[in-house]
Amino acid sequence: MKRRTFLQALNLGIASATLYHGVGNAMSLTAILGGSLPDRELSYHRIQEIKYSTVQMKYPRLVGKNARLNLHGYGPNVEICAIKTDKGAMGWASLRGSRKDAEQIEVELIGKKVSELFASNFGTLNDRYIAFDIALHDLAGVILQKPVYELLGRKKPYTTDYYSGMIYFDDLEPSEKPSGIARILEECRYDYEVGYRQFKLKIGRGHKWMPFKEGLQRDIDVTNAVANAFPDCGILVDGNNGFTADQFIQYLKGIPSVNLFWIEEPFHETVSDYEKLRNYIKTAGIGTLLADGEADPDPVLLKELFEKKLLDVHLTDIEGLGFTNWRRLMPELKKLGVQASPHAWGSLLKSYYTAHLAGGLGNTVTIEGVTSTSEEVDLSGYKIQDGKLIPSPAAGFGMPLLKKI
């Protein structure tokens, strides 16, 4: 998400979601927040050094196409930053935005007290430093010897469902000899053994990769096949804006026995299209959640859709909006009766950040899983239990780096 889009995303009509600007305002805010004991502990540490690197995350298989994009590959090389203090504490996390942008402002952080940049019951105090937002959460947790979810107010974290977000159009691969639906079922079996009890199926093959009628039927067949093979699992579907409203209703008519957990981005959001879909699922007696807000979110339109009860779940990316801004947004979603599930596709690190957000604040209906391994990060602190993601109880986000940077 670009910086402009990030700032627009704060304008859901929710004043409390806006970060304070400028060092002076950040200092004032620290005073307003009361100089709590944890923040006094943070004041003993000054930022000494910021370093940059990458960590390689590896998927267990090639992840294929969705309705709009070609092959997604074998896993990302994630840009990270590590923030060290003069007392020897170190926190690290994914960068928000590019390393180039971060390097342009890092000098402003050097020498500052951590408490000038971060308050444990608020987050990052100045939106200018949002590139370092997640790393500052990790650093504060390390200094205070608390997991991030505890910084957010919970000694025992809320836990919630955890879905595999890795079921793409792999039935179409390899292109010279497509493997068919059997490949999708094989992937679901693998993910079931990992511990998932929800699968999100990418649909919309007829948007770009197959003739519409043939692609629609494949979407229907895949959905029915997975639902029949895994009756104890929830089924989510994601159209990546690859349908019209009428086309998506055709899809729903083809899966009458499937009890969908949610429908995600079936088409680019408009009030009229979501009114049509909402009316159809109500008339058809379909009990499902409608989730949107990931791709190029229009905050004014999203607010209208939520207020009109045309959407149920807010999906803006955990890094795109920023961890601090999700902290500000979550109470307002609760007031609207809206649940959250921050978009986390691409990096398992984002899934684990979301586990702490959900663990501390609740109101998260499920978490997107991106099964990965890494030789450069210790991911062992996180567990899947009864289909739910259990965040690490270690300090910060509880993911020690295994590489020196």
Residues 83-102 have pLDDT tens digits of: 999 999 999 999 999 999 99
**108-136 confidence digits (pLDDT tens):** 999 999 999 999 999 999 999 999 999 99
Rounded to the nearest 10 degrees, the angle between the axes of helix 348-361 and helix 323-336 is 50
Please give the share of the chain, as a percent, with pLDDT higher than 70.
91
Q: Please report the pLDDT score of residue 49 as a whole number.
A: 98
Give the H or E element holding residue 367.
Answer: strand 366-369
Q: Please report the pLDDT score of residue 274 as a whole number.
A: 98
Backbone angles phi and psi of 139, in degrees to 5: -60, -45
**187-219 confidence digits (pLDDT tens):** 999 999 999 999 999 999 999 999 999 999 999
Q: How confident is the model at residue 35 (pLDDT cuts 50, 70, 90)?
A: low
Q: Please report the pLDDT score of residue 295 as a whole number.
A: 72
d(Cα 236, Cα 272) in Å, to the nearest integer? 23
325-359 exposure pattern, b = at least 16 Cβ within 10 A, e = fewer: bbbbbbebbeebebbbbbbbbbbbbbbbbbbbbbb
d(Cα 298, Cα 312) in Å, to the nearest integer? 16
Closest CA to 170 of 216, 196, 207, 205: 205
DSSP letter assigned to residue 242: -
In whole numbers, what is the pLDDT of the chain averaged over residues? Answer: 92
Q: 373 or 8, which is more confident?
A: 373
Q: Taking residues 142-147, what's their average pLDDT?
A: 98
Q: Taking residues 369-398, what's their average pLDDT?
A: 98
Q: Please report the pLDDT score of residue 23 as a whole number.
A: 36
Q: Please report the pLDDT score of residue 299 as a whole number.
A: 87
pLDDT at residue 375 greater than cutoff 90: yes
CATH numbers and ranges of domains, the chain = 3-146 (3.30.390.10), 160-390 (3.20.20.120)
Q: Please report the pLDDT score of residue 36 as a whole number.
A: 67
Backbone angles phi and psi of 101, in degrees to 5: -65, -40
Closest CA to 293 of 276, 275, 318, 272: 318
Q: How confident is the model at residue 28 (pLDDT cuts 50, 70, 90)?
A: very low
Q: How confident is the model at residue 65 (pLDDT cuts 50, 70, 90)?
A: very high
Q: Please report the pLDDT score of residue 297 as a whole number.
A: 80
d(Cα 369, Cα 51) in Å, to the nearest integer? 28
Residue whose pair of structure tokens reads 């840009």 in the numeric block: 79
pLDDT at residue 103 greater than cutoff 60: yes
Q: Please report the pLDDT score of residue 5 as a whole number.
A: 38
Closest CA to 333 of 352, 354, 312, 351: 312
Q: How confident is the model at residue 170 (pLDDT cuts 50, 70, 90)?
A: very high
**282-341 confidence digits (pLDDT tens):** 999 999 999 999 977 888 999 999 999 999 999 999 999 999 999 999 999 999 999 999
Q: Please report the pLDDT score of residue 10 as a whole number.
A: 41
- Alpha carbon separation from 101 to 3, 67, 78, 129 (Å, rounded): 10, 31, 15, 10
Closest CA to 111 of 51, 50, 36, 53: 50
pLDDT at residue 258 greater than cutoff 90: yes
Q: Which residues pair with 200 in a beta bridge?
A: 236
Q: Taking residues 242-264, what's their average pLDDT?
A: 98
pLDDT at residue 29 greater than cutoff 90: no
